[in-house]
Amino acid sequence: MISLKNLPNQESGEVTILFLRRYWLDLAGAFFFTLAMVIVPFALYGAIRLGHLTILEQPFWGPALTLLLGCYMLVVAVIAMAQITDYFLDIWIVTNERVINIEQQGLFNRTVSELRLNQVQDITSETNGFLETFLTYGNVYIQTAGERERFVFKDIDNPDDVKLTLSKLVADCKRRRGDASLEQEEQQTNHAIKP
């Protein structure tokens, strides 16, 4: 397991400031989806009983439908677990030195990337739509001067507060370590000028 007190490649004096996950609404959505999937066979069973259909008493179809229901329940359980795993393993850790992005894609794909705070050039928070505004969750985009794609904290709680904290941390880090985003930008400009 990953410990916040013992992060990969942790430097001395590096402290975890923020530990972020997607907003709980994602997990609630998965929960209600699973609940709906569980209700479907019981609703069908009720409809069959109400319609006085004899299919459940048939010597072949009774057991066959029992097994089908069993398979369905197992698959629903697995889908629910996959959704929980996906939610649980998508995390963002912000320390006073860097941002670590750990993302689970499916069951076998994991991406772990990190970004030093003094490379950050721009931080944008975004809240779209009624629900995100009302429940105060949204995205935070972290842009560097490099060619790498920007970091996205997707569907996190209080994106504006996170942006504010990140901005302070970036400013602190740049004071201590120097602004690496300017160096990156210079390198890119030089690279572009050279034939």
CA of 180: how far to CAs of 56, 64, 120, 156, 176, in Å? 70, 65, 8, 27, 11
Least CB distance from residue 9 to other proteins, whole Å? 16
Binding map of other proteins across residues 77-106, x = CB under 8 A, - = no contact? xx-xxx-xx--xx-x----------x-x--
**Is residue 32 a contact residue for other proteins (CB under 8 A)?**
no
User: CA 28, CA 138: separation in Å to the nearest integer?
Assistant: 16
Residue 62 CA, distance from chain mean position? 42
Residues binding other proteins: what is the number (CB under 8 A)? 40
Least CB distance from residue 14 to other proteins, whole Å? 17
Nearest to 89 by CA among 108, 73, 115: 108
Binding map of other proteins across residues 102-131, x = CB under 8 A, - = no contact? x-x--x--x---------------------
H-run or E-run covering 98: strand 98-105
- Of 4-23, binders to other proteins (CB under 8 A) are 4, 19
**Is residue 66 a contact residue for other proteins (CB under 8 A)?**
yes
| 2 vs 131, beta carbon nearer other proteins | 2
Which structure tokens are listed for 48?
């069959």
Least CB distance from residue 71 to other proteins, whole Å? 5
Q: Give the position of tokens 């066959």.
A: 64
**Is residue 64 a contact residue for other proteins (CB under 8 A)?**
yes
**Is residue 29 a contact residue for other proteins (CB under 8 A)?**
no
| 113 vs 187, beta carbon nearer other proteins | 113
Paired sense of beta strands 91-95 and 109-116, if any = unpaired
Nearest to 117 by CA among 182, 185, 179, 184: 179
Nearest to 2 by CA among 144, 112, 81: 112
Enumerate binding residues for other proteins (CB under 8 A).
1-4, 19, 45, 54-67, 69-71, 73-75, 77-78, 80-82, 84-85, 88-89, 91, 102, 104, 107, 110
